């Protein structure tokens, strides 16, 4: 428990330092636009809390009902979906009417495959770890019914 507490303190200090760094950056802009920054931040909170979070929670509830076989899917989706959501909207939906120098300079299919591949690899790893943990549990306590499993993910 101790190292965990230490890690939390370090994370909190780091997070606080990043917030302060951001604030001083905003305040030191040559032309501070605090109202604009506040709007931007508020919109982010609204979108996150009232649109994105409910969707994720509904999916989590659905996975919980479907059973443990969804765990690898959860891990894969947690990795790949945010990465694709954060990047693909600026790549897709481009009007490719006029060629633009410097626009879309790389192979995006490859990029998507790499990101999806990371998700699939993480899902496979989860599947293997879950199976191994299940086997260990069965071997070590064949008769007892213990449910306090804490996967290390």
Partner 1 sequence: VPDPKPSSDASGGHERRTPSVLSRRGFLVVVGASAALTTVLTAGQSVEALKDLALLAPRLPGVGPQGLPVNVTARAAGVEEAARSGTWGLEVTGRAKSVTLSLEDILEMPQHTAELPIACVEGWSSSASWRGVRLKDVVALVGDAPDGVRVESLQEGSRYRSSLVDPAHLEDDLTLLALELNGDVLSLDHGYPLRLIAPARPGVMQTKWLSSVVVL
Give the Å distances, CA to CA, from 25 to 20, 44, 68: 8, 19, 45
CA-to-CA distance for 107 and 74, rounded, in angstroms?
27
Minimum CB separation of residue 77 from partner 1 in Å reads 9
Tell me how far apart the terminal alpha carbons of the chain are, to the nearest angstrom.
17
Of residues 103, 86, 102, the one with CA closest to residue 94: 103
CA-to-CA distance for 153 and 151, rounded, in angstroms?
5
Minimum CB separation of residue 46 from partner 1 in Å reads 18
Applying the rule CB under 8 A, the residues between 124 and 143 that interact with partner 1 are: 130, 133-134, 137-138, 141, 143
- Considering the complex, state which of residue 45 and residue 116 has its C-beta at the smaller distance from partner 1: 116
Which range, of 14-22, 41-49, 90-98, touches partner 1 by CB under 8 A?
90-98
Q: Token pair 């064949």 is at which residue? A: 142
Q: Judged by CB under 8 A, does residue 71 bind partner 1?
A: yes
Which range, of 12-20, 43-51, 82-90, touches partner 1 by CB under 8 A?
82-90
- Considering the complex, state which of residue 54 and residue 134 has its C-beta at the smaller distance from partner 1: 134
Q: Judged by CB under 8 A, does residue 148 bind partner 1?
A: yes
Minimum CB separation of residue 55 from partner 1 in Å reads 14
Half-sphere exposure of 36 (CA within 13 A, CB side): 6
């Amino acid at each position: 428990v101790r190292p965990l507490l230490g890690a939390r303190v370090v994370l909190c200090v780091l997070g606080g330092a990043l917030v302060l760094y951001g604030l001083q950056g905003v305040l030191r802009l040559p032309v501070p636009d605090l109202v604009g920054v506040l709007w931007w931040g508020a919109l982010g909170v609204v979108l996150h809390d009232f649109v994105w979070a409910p969707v994720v929670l509904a999916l989590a509830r659905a996975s919980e009902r479907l059973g443990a076989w969804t765990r690898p899917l959860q891990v894969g989706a947690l990795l790949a979906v945010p990465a694709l959501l954060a990047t693909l909207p600026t790549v897709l939906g481009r009007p490719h009417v006029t060629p633009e120098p410097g626009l879309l300079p790389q192979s995006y299919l490859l990029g998507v495959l790499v990101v999806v591949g990371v998700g699939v690899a993480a899902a496979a790893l989860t599947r293997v770890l879950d199976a191994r943990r299940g086997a260990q549990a069965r071997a070590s306590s064949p008769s007892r019914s213990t449910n306090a499993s804490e996967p290390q993910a």
